[in-house]
Copies of this chain bind each other. A is one copy, B any other.
């Protein structure tokens, strides 16, 4: 879809890049953001609660999009795969997060108008 005018379509959230927005990939990128030197495949799998197959599939999507580097090597004589965010991956994820933060703010503000329900449910305007 072409870039939508935010003044006429304030709820289009065009900045929510679909490669990043997928639920499992969001968890992967957040884990990798927290570990700038990279994470072993096994650690990433556990932190994100993914199976081997799912993790491989999502890493491939992120690698093809240039967001993540996957480094295959050996530890002793056992294969050892390490993953880390690329420089542009980090930047794109931060851009995405700014849009996500705006969405949370919009929704919290909208919820706040509605009879104070949001406060009772623990959503705080940010």
Interface residues of A (CB under 8 A from B): 1, 4-5, 8-14, 16, 18, 21, 23, 26-31, 33-34, 36, 46-50, 90-91, 93-95, 97-98, 100-101, 103-104, 106-111, 113-114, 117-118, 121-123, 126
Q: How many copies of this protein are present in the complex? A: 2
Q: Contact check: which of B9, B98, B114 meets A123 at CB < 8 Å?
A: B98
Q: Contact check: which of B8, B91, B111 meets A46 at CB < 8 Å?
A: B8
Question: Are A28 and B47 in contact, with the CB atoms below 8 A?
Answer: no
Q: How far is the CA of A96 from the CA of B9 in the complex (A)?
A: 23
Q: Main SS of chain A's interface residues?
A: helix
Using Cβ atoms and an 8 Å threshold, which residues of chain B touch A109? 34
Using Cβ atoms and an 8 Å threshold, which residues of chain B touch A21? 21, 23
Smallest distance from the beta carbon of A122 to chain B beta carbons, Å? 6
A110 and B9 in contact (CB under 8 A), knowing A91-B121, A97-B104?
A: no
Question: Are A111 and B123 in contact, with the CB atoms below 8 A?
Answer: no
Q: A12-B49, A29-B107, A30-B103 are in contact. List 7 more A-B contacts (CB 8 A).
A: A11-B28, A26-B103, A33-B114, A91-B121, A94-B118, A94-B121, A97-B107
Q: How far is the CA of A27 from the CA of B113 in the complex (A)?
A: 17
